[in-house]
Amino acid sequence: MTTVLDGKQTANDLMIALKQTVDELKTKGVTPGLAVILVGEDPASAIYVRNKHRRADGLGIRSLQISMPKTTTETELLNKIEELNEDPTIDGILVQLPLPADIDEQKVIEAIDPNKDVDGFHPMNVGKLWTNMPQVVASTPYGIMTLLDHYHIDVTGMNAVIVGRSNIVGRPMAALLLNHSATVTIAHSKTKDLAKVCAQADLLVVATGRAEMITADMVKPGAIVIDVGMDRNAEGKLVGDVNYAQVAPIASAITPVPGGVGPMTIASLMLQTVELAKRRVHADA
């Protein structure tokens, strides 16, 4: 019988415990602070930011939502980041991607104080992750590992295949799995015989942005399948990168879309914001 890895319920359970941690921090005079910067009016980004704000608010985290017009210059954005870097009440800074085309995303990421880089995208934090000294980790891979842990799935020795090599999911996911003693393959658009590579996986993580591209013939019977995708199929239905109807019957465990990885991503952002706030307590002690 296939186990459905319920990210929504898992995230809710985690947040109950995290709320207690936030309340304890407040008794020590520290309210975790998260600043989210949204540049422009991308509808999907606006929804993500709103969901993050709602979750933070429910936990008692101070959520600063900064909306800047699409006409914002790179210099104006960098100045805002510097202001937040200097603000002692802000523990985590997140700039919602993508940014307008005339703003250099990498320059913006590198402008964030690594100690406040709650997204884990700063080169310093990426380097710490790859040398197995993680400080902050990209929220989606962190959420996936937390979900696996919640279901007592130990990846040690597993043959893990990640389809997708983005800096947001694929690469940090590979580092985390390697740090947890899995054997890792990163597949991508140039991979030869992708179906054969995927079919060798004990753990298959898919983050391609292509609706239902992973079909039953690409999945090893009994594999654990993590679907990071959030796509619309030809009928306009919300689906993942995995053909759930085909793959679920042969997988030992699988994440649904929606309700799988998505809620864990936001939960991870909150968990890491609180972890950064804890460091402020120790620094002040």
Task: Give pLDDT, residue 285.
Answer: 56
Structural domain contains residue 151: yes
Residue the block writes with tokens 């942005």: 209
Is 268 marked as a binding-site residue?
no
Task: Give pLDDT, residue 266.
Answer: 95
Residue 71 has pLDDT above 90, yes or no: yes
Catalytic residues, by residue number, are 52, 96, 119
Structure confidence at residue 95 as a pLDDT band (50, 70, 90): very high
Asked if residue 144 and residue 258 are part of one domain, the reply reads: yes
Is 165 marked as a binding-site residue?
yes
What value does the mean pLDDT take over residues 201-221?
97
Structural domain contains residue 149: yes
* Residue 176 token pair: 């985390």
Q: Hey, which residues does 184 pair with through a beta bridge?
A: 160
Structural domain contains residue 36: yes
Task: Give pLDDT, residue 284.
Answer: 65
What value does the mean pLDDT take over residues 270-277?
97
User: Percent of the chain at pLDDT above 90?
Assistant: 90
What value does the mean pLDDT take over residues 160-184?
97
Residue numbers of the domain that contains 167: 139-262
Asked if residue 40 and residue 88 are part of one domain, the reply reads: yes
Asked if residue 198 and residue 96 are part of one domain, the reply reads: no
**What is the identity of the amino acid at 198?**
C
Asked if residue 249 and residue 143 are part of one domain, the reply reads: yes
Is 63 marked as a binding-site residue?
no
| Buried-state track 247-270, b at ≥16 Cβ within 10 A, e below 16 | bbebbebbbbbebbbbbbbbbbbb
Q: How far is CA 68 from the centre of its chain?
A: 23
* Residue 57 token pair: 């608010």
Q: What is the pLDDT of residues 37-70, one digit of tens each?
A: 999 988 888 888 898 999 999 999 999 999 999 9
* Residue 43 token pair: 């509808």
Asked if residue 156 and residue 105 are part of one domain, the reply reads: no
What value does the mean pLDDT take over residues 127-132?
98
Asked if residue 153 and residue 106 are part of one domain, the reply reads: no
Structure confidence at residue 212 as a pLDDT band (50, 70, 90): very high
Structural domain contains residue 37: yes
What value does the mean pLDDT take over residues 265-276?
96
Structural domain contains residue 174: yes
Q: Which helix (H) or strand (E) holds 145?
A: helix 139-150
Q: Hey, which residues does 203 pair with through a beta bridge?
A: 160, 224
Q: What is the pLDDT of residues 188-202, one digit of tens each?
A: 999 999 999 999 999
Task: Give pLDDT, residue 234.
Answer: 84
What is the 8-class DSSP label of residue 114? T
Task: Give pLDDT, residue 37.
Answer: 97
φ/ψ bin of 40: left (φ > 0), alpha (ψ from -120 to 50), beta (otherwise): left
Domain count, the chain: 2
Structural domain contains residue 2: no
What value does the mean pLDDT take over residues 125-134?
98
Structure confidence at residue 280 as a pLDDT band (50, 70, 90): confident
Whole-prediction pTM: 0.95
Domain with residue 151: its CATH number is 3.40.50.720
How far apart are alpha carbons 138 and 71 in whole angstroms?
A: 28
Domain with residue 77: its CATH number is 3.40.50.10860
Residue 21 has pLDDT above 70, yes or no: yes
